[in-house]
Chains A and B, each alone.
Chain A
Amino acid sequence: MNESFLLTILILSPLLGIVLLSVMPGNHRFINYMGVLGTVLPLVLTLIVFSLFDRTVSGVQFVEYRQWFELMTSISPNEPYTVAYDLGVTGLSVLFLMLASLITFLASLTALRLKESAKGFYILFLLLELGLLGVFVSENLFLFFLFFEITLVSMFLLVGKWGGFNREKAAFSFMIYNGIGSILLLIVIIVLFVEMKTTNITELTMLLKETDSLEFLSGDTRTWLFVLLLIAFGIKLPIVPFHTWMVRVHVEAPIAVVMIHAGVLLKIGAYGLLRFGVGFFPQQLKDMAVVLAILGVINLLYGAFIALVQTELRSVLAYSSISHMGIVLLGVASFNTAGLQGAVFQTISHGLIAALLFLLVGVIVDRFHTTKLEELGGVASQAPLFAGFLLAAGLASLGLPGMSGFISEFLAFLGLFESMPVIGSVGILGLILTAVYMLRAVLAVTFGERRPLFDGIRDLTAVEIVPSAILLSIIIWIGVYPAVLSNTLQLARTIGIGG
């Protein structure tokens, strides 16, 4: 295959913005715009990758391979452990890539409001983007981990510096939980590396499949590795009970960051689970599918129930994310094409919807300076456009057909009902609960008597309408024409399982 440097250029493209920003004086008028511009380049490049991506062939595309370094032991110097710089995209990752750069761009728009130390913010923001892009184009576990950690550090700083009142606590909570997750991941990576002498994802997938005779790793070891992987990505996803950090971050982090966090960062968990969990340990996954499904149902219902009684919009949305990620787990647990496809769809869809919701929450914070549900209400009178978007987002989130959420949940449950109808029946109650809490929250904000306090509040401005409209139209687009995802995804080829 021809070598192209497109992906390298792509992941390094945020650096341009970083460099330009760092040479600009910190109080420059256009610093925010520069930051936004910095995210445009990656977006453009992602679009190029997305459009050049050949949907008719299988396998990894845009492959770049360079040997990076070798580890040699003095005892057996002729069998080095090779770590490579190894990029490539599959149907799965190209979707996540698209999601990442799009939401980053849109999130950067919402940060235009930022007044204080915008330079640092945007530099870290772009660094975060670099990490995200890298995570999704890594064809290699080592690189994956590397970029994963970049997101960790930049997130920590972003939350800790620009967050809300309890930002430092949230930042540490983020760091600790994700730190544990990342090290568990590292352990898995290293065990695979030590045993297989490679970290290339595709190669590992093949090797692990071929060596089903358990020549390399015993079944027990594989089970353990899978469990570790599950915890590692489960923290990220998050799976109850590893979710508290995520609620804190949702509540405390600056809106632009929460958009990325809810929209993309959490999705790394799903991505990892799909790419590595399903790819490397299909048998183990199958064996533990029931456990996974039960975890999924717990997530789904647990998040939904708690969201039902939250009094603060951000917390509602945080628990809603937990609930929605339960569906991803269910999709994975079903372990058939429909379910897995549903899991992917749900991940992407929730990324978009969560980003939209938090974008709107950002507006609430900006205009009303509160996110307490009881202090809000009747906003539709003063800001009908905003109310309309919020309502649309809420409906999308509760899985309204014609929007992306529906098709994802549909597929996930469709899959689940094949393999585990009983668990599916319990889980599907979550859909009702979702409607209950989502409507409760959204209606509490938009509906209700007009409050004179909010008279004179500005409705959405152009810079808010544009991203909201883009997100909403993509949500609807996917909802109406899901083939846009499934054509690219080509699940069977990507993850390598048959139906």
Chain B
Amino acid sequence: MDMETLLQYEWNSMWPEFTILLTAVALSLIDLFMNKKKDRSLLIWLALAGIAVAIVCLVLQFDDGVVSILNETYRLDSFAKAFKFLMLIGTGFVLLLGVPDESTSVRGEYIYLILTALLGGMMMASSADLITLFVGLELLSLSSYVLVGIRKTNPLANEAAFKYVVNGGIATAITLFGMSYLYGLTGETNIYEIQGLMGSDVVTDNRFLAVFAFLMIVVGLAFKITAAPFHMWAPDVYQGAETPVTAFLSVVSKIAGFAIMLRLLMVPFVFAPGTGEIITPDGISYETLLVSVRPYLVLLAIVTILVGNVIALRQLNAKRLFAYSSIAHAGYLLVPLAALSELVFEAVWFYLTAYLLMNIGAFAVIHVMSAEEEVTVASFAGLFKRAPYLTIAMSIYLLSLAGIPLTAGFIGKFEIFMSALGTEPKRYLLVTAMLAGTVLSYVYYFGLFVQMYFRPSKRQTPVTISNGVTAVLAITAAGTVLLGVFPSIALTFIHDHFQFLEIFNP
């Protein structure tokens, strides 16, 4: 293949990725050559500019149809765009959180590693090929490992990073093991090709291997989205990492995980044979793989919801609390998947949007407070007296996380409930789990209310908030309320711009 062939591909569909890549590379060079003493906040602004450009590029692509390059190792469809959009915004917030004020500083590596992680996530969302997907996943993971451990003088950070690497490595290995079988059964790495080949006799003969391969792949992704029982790394890592990194892991990384999970669930396996036999006049055929594994997805969702919420009840450390909370939310997000609802894309996307706003907001608050001490639940005591606006913002996030109306979280949860109840038969089991989980979550979310509003504070000093964080707080709080009051903003947005069904067209 010569240069001409290469050039004739629609490379311009990759502009967002290119932008991020170029920014990352440029920043690493700048960082390298910049005076070591100099403040790195300039880099953050550059990175933000890069993200802004990427968002603009992405927005310009919104109404394009499906574009795929090079045997679909890169595929730009609405699905990818929708998730990339979220990841870009989330990363923007995370970068803003990292804007240093007078007393703190920021490391240059931190900034461009976040960008490379983002790049990995974007590639994951945009790939229709196991290899691209894997490399994207690894790019995200590796960047994350480093980001977690970047406060290398901090033993907690080191430990968190190490745990992350070990758990992540094992999960990757399991996923890859599954992928290898997937490849073996079809001889292809392109998931649309795989989709077509899944119905073949060879696969039917070895249908259990296909199912196992599927499950092993899911394990690796479940690890990324912190679904129980693959969640256990998360609390430790979240706690050990710097708060903006935690926010990144709990939001952007999870969005990427869900993107890839959805795609892998919906594309390669739709025609795959499952375990159950169906006797038809023409002979024996098999129910589809998705139908066979659906009970286990349901189980996964239920266990995740319950584990997240129940253990969160016992947490004292704020970051760990929110780690479990985010595990529980992953469980909620799994509900539409497990229900195989026709609302699945809308529900997941909207909930992720809401989750992005509220969770980043909550971590922003923790970030503010971690300047003083290791943030525990008790640190919130009397916060209202010390920082009323911060408290109000936090209240909004908490209400949204708890799913109280007039917040984005409620609309999200509403859609998830709809997705579970809109299928035939209705998924009452999932709904019950969500009910139990939501009620349990009231205890710890409102427990924070009790701290913030009812309890006296140990400290009297007002809380200092940097400008970047203020911006994040303002935008996320406003966004949470706005999407709660006028959800049509987001709902018509996705309807107008994203034809999720594109995901099914090869």
Contact = CB atoms under 8 A, between A and B. Distances in A.
Given A75-B342, A76-B342, A172 B495 contact: no
Contact of A69 (B439, B486, B501): B486
B454 A190 contact: no
A461 interface: no
Interface in A71-87: 71-77, 81
B399 interface: yes
Contact of B421 (A68, A146, A172, A187): A187
B455 to A, nearest CB: 9
Contacts of B450: 160, 168, 171
B417 A69 contact: no
A70 B350 CA distance: 13
Contacts of B443: 172, 175-176
Interface stretch (A150-158, A240-248, A276-284): A150-158
A193 B431 contact: no
Given A74-B501, A168-B450, A190 B421 contact: yes
Interface string A130-148: 0000000000000001100
Contacts of B415: 71
A184 interface: yes
Contact of B492 (A70, A168, A183): A70
Most buried by B among A72, A175, A176, A179: A179
A149 B404 contact: yes
Contacts of A187: 417, 421, 431, 435
Contact of B399 (A75, A120, A153, A161): A153
B442 interface: yes
B418 A71 contact: yes
A346 B488 CA distance: 41
Nearest to A152: B404
Interface string B483-506: 000111001100100111100000
A107 to B, nearest CB: 21
B145 interface: no
B491 A176 contact: no
A191 B491 contact: no
A160 B449 contact: yes
A426 interface: no
B435 A71 contact: no
Most buried by A among B415, B488, B492, B500: B488
Nearest to A186: B417
Nearest to B498: A74
B422 interface: yes
Given A69-B491, A70-B491, A186 B414 contact: yes
Contacts of A75: 342, 501
A180 interface: yes
- Give chain A's interface secondary structure class: helix
A435 B112 CA distance: 77
Contact of B435 (A76, A77, A172, A180): A180
A194 interface: yes
A183 B399 contact: no
B446 A161 contact: no
B454 A161 contact: yes
B327 to A, nearest CB: 20
Contact of B442 (A175, A186, A193): A175
Contacts of B343: 71, 73
B405 A72 contact: no
Interface string B353-375: 00000000000000000000000
A73 B345 CA distance: 8
A464 to B, nearest CB: 28
Contacts of B486: 69
Nearest to A81: B418
A71 B491 contact: yes
A117 to B, nearest CB: 10
A157 B421 contact: no
A25 to B, nearest CB: 13
A190 B405 contact: no
Interface string B424-440: 00100001001100110
Interface in B438-495: 438-439, 442-443, 446, 449-450, 453-454, 486-488, 491-492, 495
A77 B499 CA distance: 10
Contacts of A146: 405-406
Contacts of B410: 149
B94 to A, nearest CB: 29
B346 interface: yes
B404 A72 contact: no
Contact of A156 (B422, B438, B446, B498): B446
A172 B444 CA distance: 10
Contacts of B418: 71, 81, 190, 193-194
Contacts of A72: 346, 491, 495
Contact of B488 (A70, A145, A156): A70
Interface string B193-230: 00000000000000000000000000000000000000
Interface string A181-198: 001101100110110000
Contact of B439 (A68, A179, A194): A179
B421 A194 contact: yes
Nearest to A183: B435
Contacts of A160: 449-450, 453-454
Contacts of A176: 439, 442-443
Contacts of A76: 342
B435 A184 contact: yes
Most buried by B among A73, A153, A156, A172: A73
A74 B500 contact: yes
B439 A183 contact: yes
A153 B446 CA distance: 9
A304 B445 CA distance: 36
Contact of A172 (B414, B438, B446, B499): B446
A73 B418 CA distance: 11
B346 A74 contact: yes
A68 B431 CA distance: 25
A168 B58 CA distance: 49
Contacts of B501: 74-75
Interface string A12-45: 0000000000000000000000000000000000
B130 to A, nearest CB: 25
Given A71-B415, A186-B417, A179 B342 contact: no
B127 to A, nearest CB: 21
24 contacts: A69-B487, A70-B488, A71-B343, A72-B491, A74-B498, A74-B501, A149-B410, A150-B405, A152-B404, A160-B450, A160-B454, A161-B453, A161-B454, A168-B450, A171-B446, A175-B443, A176-B443, A179-B439, A183-B439, A184-B435, A190-B417, A193-B418, A194-B418, A194-B421
Given A73-B343, A74-B499, A75-B501, 13 more contacts: A71-B346, A72-B491, A149-B404, A160-B450, A172-B443, A175-B442, A179-B439, A179-B442, A180-B439, A190-B421, A191-B421, A194-B418, A194-B421
Q: Please name the 4 residue pairs, one residue from A and one from B, whose CB atoms are nearest each other, closest first.
A: A69-B488, A146-B405, A74-B500, A75-B342
